Amino acid sequence: MHYQLVAKAADFTPEELQKQASVHFDNFEFKGIGRYKDVISSPQGVYAYISSDGQIYYVTDVRCPFEPDDVVYVMDCHN
Question: pLDDT by residue (tens digit) across 5-62?
Answer: 899 999 999 899 989 888 888 888 999 999 998 888 877 767 788 888 888 888 765 6
pTM for the predicted model, two decimal places: 0.81
Please, are residues 73 and 30 in contact by the beta-carbon 8 Å criterion? yes
60: Cα separation from own chain's centroid = 13
In this predicted structure, what is the pLDDT of residue 52? 87
Which of 3, 1, 5 shows the shortest CA–CA distance to 49? 5
In this predicted structure, what is the pLDDT of residue 71? 96
For residues 30 and 48, give the distance between their C-alpha atoms in angstroms, rounded to a whole number.
Answer: 14
In this predicted structure, what is the pLDDT of residue 62? 60
